[in-house]
Amino acid sequence: MIGNKIVQCVPNFSEGRDSEKIEKIIDTLRGRDGVKLLDYSSDKDHNRTVVTLVGEPSALKETILAFMAVAVENIDLREHKGQHPRMGAVDVVPFIPIKNVTMDEAILLSREVAEEASARFNLPIFLYEKSAVNPSRENLAVIRKGEFEGMEDKLKLEEWKPDFGPAAPHKTAGVTAVGARMPLVAFNVNLDTPNLQIADAIAKKVRHVGGGLRFCKAMGVTLEERNITQVSMNMTDYTKTALYRSFELIKIEARRYGVSVVGSEIVGMLPMQALIDCAEYYLGIENFSSDQILENKLME
């Protein structure tokens, strides 16, 4: 049973191929008082698993620490290879306020988890997004640049001293980022080409740092089993950059290479409004209100 104060947590860990190992880590999240596991999704190409759970702040804190203990023990990044950038066994742990919890409370929870995890596991931890003490560390991509293999040299630099823990990466578990943020939508668009250079070029045009959409991070990824590529995106504020905008921009940019979009996917969970915005756009619905959705009325 979950109480009246609800926080969402979406930890990402660096294992997406070994089902036995994945289930061992996920088992730490099952059957806990005050916490509910909503979803987890593993990707073999990314070699990564994304988890979604919700809970009361105190129960969620203890659950995440138990989860991290098993992930740190069972994942060795020296043997890890995948399409998705990573710097840690538990790569990132974001907290999102959902119900009767302020962003300040989510920030406090993230800092408590970061401090205790660093002490328990001798793990360097950076605070990011809303939790960042240093504004230059708000962007996860900046923190993760260099990935696991480059962290030993990076952490020697004074400007990259971790917020908590030792100034050297954990031998097998690397470095973790913990923070509080707005709801994020992991949205991927598939292209009918195996040419990764094309996917990378399109991603550069779509993401904010390349002059694209303000609340979009993007990279090209190879889906080897399907012999196609993908523009893999994190939509960091779907209320300001809607999913359909990135989808349409990718189609526009793909045309110059004679490439077509062949599908898309959502990784993990997302707010219903993110899909309602797309339905409104593609159906050309005028003066639509979320009050018109039957399920919303039933949940009131």
Is 268 in contact with 10 (CB distance < 8 Å)? Answer: yes
Helix (H) / strand (E) element for 94: namely strand 90-99
Tokens of 254: 């793909």
Residue 208 among the catalytic residues: no
Torsion angle of the four alpha carbons 245, 246, 248, 252, in this order, in degrees rounded to the nearest 10: 130
The answer to whether the beta carbons of residues 249 and 241 sit under 8 Å apart is no
231: closest CA among 271, 260, 211, 274? Answer: 260
**Separation of alpha carbons 207 and 213, rounded Å:** 6
Catalytic residue among 46, 80, 84, 170: 84
Whole-number Å distance between alpha carbons of 160 and 247: 35
Buried b (16+ CB within 10 A) or exposed e, 29-39: beebebbbbee
Inter-residue contact 155 to 162 (CB < 8 Å): yes
Distance CA 34, CA 32 (A): 6
CB-based contacts of 287, cutoff 8 Å, min separation 6? none
Q: Which sequence positions are flagged as catalytic?
A: 84
